[in-house]
Amino acid sequence: MITVTNLTKRFGPTVAVDNISFEVHRGEILGFLGPNGAGKSTTMRILTCYMPPDEGKATLAGLDTFEDSLKIREKIGYLPENTPLYNDMGVVDYLKFIAEVRRIPHSKRKTRIKEVAQQCGLGKEELAKDIGQLSKGYRQRVGLAQALIHNPDILILDEPTVGLDPNQIIEIRRLIKDIGEEKTIILCSHILPEVQATCKRIIIIKEGKIVGSGTPEELAAQAQGEEIVYITIQGPQEQIQQQLDKLENTQEYHLLSSENTSHRFEIISKKGIDLRKDLFQLVVDNQWSLTEMQKTQITLEDVFKQLTTEEN
């Protein structure tokens, strides 16, 4: 549904988007993740035909963002970071206005407004208010409703939960996942739990360049460094340490605590090595007792930090 090829955008000497390429498939929720100023919103503005690229090409549903701008706008729904609402308008009046702008036939507008209001969790009480009277969570729902009212094939959401409280964030995430069963969605954010809870595939961008792409599990594998195993062994401390010194694929280890014959170690393996099997065999061979063994799991936060802070 979306193809981006060698996309570049400059603002004077600043390269906001630097020769990026990616694809988004039909029915996919893609997380577009990066720190503030990484080029996320600029990329979204190019895809929504708000601005042209300086180099490269982007197509949505087979249409070029430069040559077929108006046709693309008919096929996408866009919720920018600052929700474009008129606070002095009633919710229904606003949605009627958007339906008219989107050229929904007059005979179908009432039904479509009812459908999209139900889809976005806007009840009779909210529909009867002015937009300015709504909580921020409900204003976000109105923003989603305006993006969905013309039933677009593609939905682009830029920081859809910014400024919401935890309960509102959970509700908006659930709504996005439900919508994503039928639409192609790009979710642009710098909030890691939001992306992890909503998206099946993630692109990480830093300083205008893509530095990581894949599922959360694939990204973790790409960014995997040394693994840490925490182990507690009951046995003679000196003998345990002598055997750990001989263990292959161990980079280093540290004694964390000792109580009588129980000793807890932090053991750091060489890159990409899982030491747990070797450690278990070591305990068995020496007839010691094993009371704890756990490997730390790399998280999306670890991946994000590694990919966006390390030197190129």
- The structure tokens listed for 212 are 């990581």
Question: What's the predicted TM-score (pTM) here?
Answer: 0.74
Residue 299 — pLDDT band, cuts 50, 70, 90? confident
Report pLDDT for 258. Answer: 93
Residue 146 — pLDDT band, cuts 50, 70, 90? very high
For domain 228-295, the CATH class is alpha beta
CATH 3.40.50.300 segments of the chain: 2-222
Question: Which segment of 43-52, 90-99, 129-138, 222-231 scores lowest on mean pLDDT?
Answer: 222-231
Q: What is the DSSP string of the chain?
A: -EEEEEEEEEETTEEEEEEEEEEE-TT-EEEEE--TTSSHHHHHHHHTTSS--SEEEEEETTEETTTSHHHHHHHEEEE-SS----TTSBHHHHHHHHHHHTT--HHHHHHHHHHHHHHTT--HHHHTSBGGGS-HHHHHHHHHHHHHTT--SEEEEESTTTT--HHHHHHHHHHHHHHTTTSEEEEEES-HHHHHHH-SEEEEEETTEEEEEE-HHHHHHHH----EEEEEEES-HHHHHHHHHH-TTEEEEEEEEEETTEEEEEEEESTT---HHHHHHHHHHTT-EEEEEEEPPP-HHHHHHHHHHS--
Report pLDDT for 39. Answer: 93
Residue with token string 């100023």: 37
Which of 87-101, 151-165, 170-184, 185-199: highest mean pLDDT?
87-101
Is 50 exceeded by the pLDDT of residue 312?
A: no
Provide the H-helix boundaries in 158-227: 166-179, 192-198, 216-223
Report pLDDT for 273. Answer: 82
- The CATH superfamily of 2-222 is P-loop containing nucleotide triphosphate hydrolases (3.40.50.300)
Q: What is the mean pLDDT of residues 280-296?
A: 93
